[in-house]
Homo-oligomer: A and B are copies of this chain.
Amino acid sequence: MGTGQWMQGVSVIGFALLLCAAGASAQEQPRLHLMPWPASLQTGSGSLRIDSSFSVALTGHTEARLDRAVQRFLRQLARQTAIPLSAAKASAKPTLTVHTDHASKEVQELGEDESYTLSITADGANIEAPTPLGAMHGLQTFLQLVDVAPDGFTAPAISIQDKPRFPWRGLMIDVARHFIPLDVLKRNLDGLEAVKMNVFHWHLSENQGFRVESKKFPRLHTLGSDGLYYTQDEIRDLIAYARDRGIRVVPEFDMPGHSTAWFAGHPELASGPGPYEVERKWGVFDPAMDPTNEKTYKFLDEFVAEMTKLFPDHYFHIGGDEVNGKQWDANQRIQEFKKSHNLATNEALQAYFSERIQKIVTKHGKAVVGWDEVFIPGVPKDIVIQSWRGQESLAKAAALGYHGILSNGYYLDLGWPAARHYAVDPMSGPAAILTPEQQKLILGGESCMWAEYINAENIDSRIWPRNAAIAERFWSPQNVTDIHSMYARLHAVSAQLEWLGLTHRTYYPEMLRRTAGPGASPDELSALRTLADVVEPVKDYTREATAPAEPTSATPLNRVVDAVPLESDVARRFGDLVDAFVSSSCRDADAAARLRAQLSAWRDNDARLQPLMQRSFLVKEIAATSQDLSSLAAVGLAALDLAAKGGAAPEDWKAKQLAVIGQAEKPKSQLLVMPAPAIQRLVEAVAAGGGCAASK
């Protein structure tokens, strides 16, 4: 990894700049809000002024897509600055010249050259790229560099040489459990372009919905979607939209399980007796396609023929996950088939199905992607395994010569903080000990947005900004791992994503206000916001288990748990402040004062929230959580008092505080009070030594 080390050096310089920015020479140093961080960069001196004379020229290879990219770039630059910029005009001396060597493939392919260089000086800027893909990445990098300065909008002098670490950098969106309208998908594709992701994995069928118009089998979408599906014209439109942004569209039709919605119109495909209707609940369900019936394969052959014409990408995702086998076990004919074909287990039966469907997909000129379960050693080598199980199964496949992408660790619906996703590397763990040749088989990864608890209103907030950190993991050098730098840049990139029309931040006050009612006073709303800002929905797969009533696709997503962001910035910063205070041996008076102010506000907040709790059932629901925050804050204030006094903690003091914290850490109304761990650290530090000296 020689280049890796060289890149490391450069990256460290980059981060040094970021850290410097708060220091003495802050005004000289540019603040670089780049995400993903480039493979290599050198900063220069001075900056390029952005004003209404800004113009762009395209040289070398040209195509209509590049013209559109420049239009989009100018529109975006105009939004960021509010400077009216007219369409690319002929200019004797363009501000930005974009040179593209040659065309990319007619249908975007895995592994095409996406590299580019970008240089900016006070006199102008240049992007050079082998293909339009790199040119478009360079434009996005430029947009991230534009900032407000003491003398106007500027982009700093810089030289960037950039290319991705992995060729497959995707986001999966499940549009089946809750239907997601086309315009919402489009603005998310804009977001993918901004962070240089290049695959949109479209999870199109599920127990809860079949979302694609099929002209061949119209009962699939008419009976399987509640009327919520994409027409083929809309799908072509979205694919063109994605191609314009350097993004491949990989469709997924999940089979043989996760397929109840297919059976609403085509019960003959199922392994159990019908009739079926679209599933309304969440979970793993029994219905599965009948892998022993030749008619199933005839149907799928015709279906795949239609869909592979509609979706031009070389890859076709067949799902394959989570078949529980119950319908197979219950079907005498299937049991006999297993015996007569020497298929000892349901796994073997699914392998048989996978082989058959893979042959069909291959016959139609495509390569298969599937979840871990579809991997059967011996299948043709152009299959790609998408691992929801983890690096181990990915490494195992790679060791046998199979391609894979990682999704385990990147499930956006689990509510992890950005830092946790960021720490997951496709090449770590078992993958790290593969041979270089085998490592090349690991193509990258995909974040996954499963849709039990999202809809058009809150989906953006469930994807962004955290997905930008995952995008950096897939693009940037492996050693770009500094959490503080990541969060600082994520904060800025999140703001910039707003200009694309993403609603990941604007949705939040509106949804909160819904829980409070239109007549809530500013003070009431402020109290609600204070609480909401420091809670997060329960994590991982605990949401069903903790639900007040069994959730279904008809359950309104109007509760506080649906409204709050999945990662509390306020709580994270509070934690940083606690750590700074403890690190100072509890002597940092400024930190102590800030902690005290914050904790006092939290302690008093429960009383402020009372009127709203009495009026609104949606606020009443979080009463216990509100009390928990107040209790936690009281504990934190007691710890600060003790730290200020400096003496030893009274006997049992720590145990009592930890008991309160333990109580507050139990989720209520499916919410976690996020400052709890930091308050626990504070209590432990104070209890450990009078002046906190013993701790950290």
Q: What is A's interface to B at a CB cutoff of 8 Å?
A: 21, 27, 31, 33, 52, 80-84, 147-152, 457, 488, 491-493, 495-496, 498-499, 505-506, 509-511, 513-519, 521-522, 554, 556-558, 562, 569, 573, 614-618, 620
Q: Which residue on B lies nearest to A31, using beta carbons?
A: B519
CB pair A518–B492 under 8 Å, yes or no, is yes
Q: Which residue on B lies nearest to A616, using beta carbons?
A: B148
CB pair A495–B518 under 8 Å, yes or no, is yes
Contacts A/B (CB < 8 Å), 29 sampled: A27-B614, A27-B615, A31-B519, A52-B556, A81-B514, A82-B511, A82-B562, A83-B556, A84-B556, A147-B519, A148-B514, A148-B515, A148-B517, A148-B617, A149-B615, A149-B616, A149-B617, A150-B614, A150-B617, A150-B620, A152-B617, A488-B519, A491-B519, A491-B521, A492-B518, A495-B513, A498-B513, A505-B509, A522-B569
Which residues of B are found within 8 Å of A150, using beta-carbon distances? 614-617, 620
| Bound Cα distance A682, B376 (Å) | 81
Other A-B pairs, 13, CB within 8 Å; known A148-B615, A150-B620:
A33-B518, A52-B554, A81-B556, A82-B511, A82-B514, A82-B562, A147-B519, A149-B616, A151-B617, A152-B617, A491-B522, A492-B518, A493-B518
Contact of A82 among B505, B556, B569 (CB under 8 A): B556
| Bound Cα distance A31, B521 (Å) | 12
Q: What is the oligomeric copy number?
A: 2
| Bound Cα distance A569, B152 (Å) | 30
| Bound Cα distance A491, B510 (Å) | 14
Which residues of B are found within 8 Å of A506, using beta-carbon distances? 506, 509-510
Q: Which residue on B lies nearest to A27, using beta carbons?
A: B614
| Bound Cα distance A505, B496 (Å) | 19
* Least distance between A126 CB and chain B CB atoms (Å): 24
CB pair A516–B148 under 8 Å, yes or no, is yes
Contact of A81 among B83, B84, B491, B558 (CB under 8 A): B558
| Bound Cα distance A525, B278 (Å) | 47
* Least distance between A87 CB and chain B CB atoms (Å): 9
Contact of A519 among B492, B499, B618 (CB under 8 A): B492
| Bound Cα distance A616, B31 (Å) | 13
Interface centre among A31, A509, A519 (most CB of B within 10 A): A519
Which residues of B are found within 8 Å of A495, using beta-carbon distances? 513, 518
Which residues of B are found within 8 Å of A519, using beta-carbon distances? 21, 31, 33, 147, 488, 491-492
Contact of A80 among B82, B514, B614 (CB under 8 A): B514
| Bound Cα distance A618, B152 (Å) | 8
Q: Which residue on B lies nearest to A569, using beta carbons?
A: B522
* Least distance between A237 CB and chain B CB atoms (Å): 18
Which residues of B are found within 8 Å of A514, using beta-carbon distances? 80-82, 148
Which residues of B are found within 8 Å of A31, using beta-carbon distances? 519
Q: Which residue on B lies nearest to A555, using beta carbons?
A: B84
Those 4 A-B pairs whose CB atoms lie nearest each other, nearest first: A82-B558, A148-B517, A492-B518, A495-B518
| Bound Cα distance A554, B83 (Å) | 8
CB pair B147–A84 under 8 Å, yes or no, is no
Which residues of B are found within 8 Å of A558, using beta-carbon distances? 81-83
Which residues of B are found within 8 Å of A151, using beta-carbon distances? 617
| Bound Cα distance A522, B517 (Å) | 27
Q: Which residue on B lies nearest to A498, using beta carbons?
A: B510
* Least distance between A522 CB and chain B CB atoms (Å): 7
| Bound Cα distance A152, B556 (Å) | 12
Which residues of B are found within 8 Å of A80, using beta-carbon distances? 514
| Bound Cα distance A519, B490 (Å) | 9
| Bound Cα distance A513, B496 (Å) | 10
Interface centre among A518, A556, A558 (most CB of B within 10 A): A518
* Least distance between A113 CB and chain B CB atoms (Å): 29
Interface centre among A517, A522, A569 (most CB of B within 10 A): A517
* Least distance between A565 CB and chain B CB atoms (Å): 13
Which residues of B are found within 8 Å of A499, using beta-carbon distances? 510
Which residues of B are found within 8 Å of A52, using beta-carbon distances? 554, 556
| Bound Cα distance A510, B81 (Å) | 11
Which residues of B are found within 8 Å of A84, using beta-carbon distances? 554, 556
Which residues of B are found within 8 Å of A33, using beta-carbon distances? 518-519
Which residues of B are found within 8 Å of A148, using beta-carbon distances? 514-517, 615-618
* Least distance between A429 CB and chain B CB atoms (Å): 34
Q: Which residue on B lies nearest to A458, using beta carbons?
A: B82
Which residues of B are found within 8 Å of A83, using beta-carbon distances? 556, 558
| Bound Cα distance A327, B162 (Å) | 61
* Least distance between A455 CB and chain B CB atoms (Å): 8
| Bound Cα distance A488, B517 (Å) | 13
* Least distance between A80 CB and chain B CB atoms (Å): 7
| Bound Cα distance A614, B562 (Å) | 39
Q: Which residue on B lies nearest to A32, using beta carbons?
A: B519
* Least distance between A627 CB and chain B CB atoms (Å): 18
| Bound Cα distance A369, B491 (Å) | 52
Contacts A31-B519, A517-B148 given; indicate if A82 touches B457 (C-beta within 8 A): yes
